Amino acid sequence: MTNDIRRLWLTGLLALPLAACNQTASGPVPAPGASMTPSSFRAPEGTGCRGEIARYRAVMSNDLAMGHVNQSVYNQVDRELGPAEAACAAGRDAEAQRLVHAAKARHGYY
């Protein structure tokens, strides 16, 4: 390599880390008009399986309203939560929470 080519190559190599500094630390900026969760959204409180089911239902309802999931996915999650609610009502908290966690994992909510 000639000295000029080496110099250009090294200059380009040194400029790469500086180019990365132009990124913002705040994360991705939503597109104008993008559906976002309203600031008034509050997850339901509660402990055990009842609280876990209520929070997942609230998130799914919000995601449906925002257009993040379609009605068929929402309906599928609703059906999957039925056995969890039955287990919870019967006092089988661990089983109910396991069913909720499995539904979340299937739909990418982990």
pLDDT at 83 over 90: yes
**Which residue in the block uniquely carries the two structure tokens 């999931």?**
69
For the segment 18-28, what is each residue's pLDDT rounded down to a tens digit? 444 444 444 44
pTM for this model (two decimals): 0.63
Torsion angle, alpha carbons of 91, 82, 48, 70, to 10: 180
Mean pLDDT over 72-81 rounds to 96
For the segment 37-50, what is each residue's pLDDT rounded down to a tens digit? 666 667 667 779 99
